[in-house]
Homo-oligomer: A and B are copies of this chain.
Amino acid sequence: MMMHFDLAQTAPAAAPVPCQDASYCQQCDVRARAICGTLEDDERAALNRLGRRVMVQAGQTVMWEGDDATIVANVIEGTLKLSASTGDGREQIVGVVYPSDFIGRPFGRSTPHSVTALTDARLCLFTRGAFDGFARNHPELGHRLLQRTLDDLDRARAWMVLLGRKNAREKIATFLLDMSHRLAGEGAGPLDSFALPLSRQQVADVLGLTIETVSRQMTDMKRAGIIALPNRRTVDILDRDQLACCAEAA
């Protein structure tokens, strides 16, 4: 089911294939927020010529941990997970990315984690070589990428506190609050009701727990009236204060 459909194969470094006309970026949903947002129109057109739009189905893996880093991309639409594994196959999700986020490992030999679509997704894909070259010649782009990477690093480190020092209840509560913020659109406040893009197993893989513990804790919070779970994927936050309280100390 999880077919290894290697996008890199279909994007040979020698001949990138722009599949839309140069005005494509004008209508891009995420242009303002993505790293290309502050480029001048002609620069963005030049970058656009290096890339191509790609659809990815839910479950499809875009890059594999340890593979040569041959592609990078902007996320236009959808949600994807970044995951890494121990030698014997235990998985940890090390990041979840949303529209306007950047994926891949520029300026590096190999990809340190896999990237897999959680929902159907649309990407703006570049070969790494072409992107690296463009970024070296366009400091403004490099600077946006730096700011984004610094933000990602802050988020990763905040998550290390969660993984190392929080108990199951705190982990779940923190996760739900994080989701309610990250799934909200540009400038919008946190959502009180949202569809999780993750299965229970994937939630467990984000939090360093087992699926059973995730399920039990969520059921407990439902019984406590803090959240409602109208169906498998939907979460309603009924008592945000209480949830925030759970997130810091159980």
Query: A residues engaging B (CB < 8 A)?
Result: 82, 84-88, 90-92, 94-95, 105-108, 112-113, 136, 139, 142-143, 145-147, 149-150, 152-154, 156-161, 163-166, 170, 207-208, 248-249
Contact = CB atoms under 8 A, between A and B. Distances in A.
Nearest to A149: B149
B163 A208 contact: yes
13 contacts: A82-B157, A86-B166, A86-B170, A90-B165, A92-B165, A94-B160, A106-B150, A108-B150, A139-B143, A142-B143, A159-B160, A160-B160, A163-B163
A104 to B, nearest CB: 10
Nearest to A137: B139
A136 B143 contact: yes
A106 B84 CA distance: 28
Contacts of A208: 163-165
Contacts of A149: 146, 149-150, 153
Contacts of A248: 86-88
Contact of A163 (B85, B91, B160, B170): B160
Given A86-B161, A146-B149, A112 B154 contact: yes
* Chain A interface mostly: helix
A92 B152 CA distance: 18
Contacts of A150: 105-108, 149
B207 A164 contact: yes
5 nearest CB pairs, A to B: A164-B208, A139-B139, A163-B163, A87-B248, A94-B157
B161 A84 contact: yes
Nearest to A249: B88
Contacts of A106: 150
Given A113-B157, A153-B152, A157-B82, A146 B107 contact: yes
Contacts of A86: 161, 165-166, 170, 248-249
Nearest to A209: B164
Contacts of A105: 150, 154
Given A84-B160, A149-B149, 16 more contacts: A82-B157, A84-B161, A86-B249, A88-B248, A94-B161, A95-B157, A105-B150, A105-B154, A136-B143, A142-B143, A146-B149, A156-B160, A160-B163, A163-B163, A163-B164, A164-B208
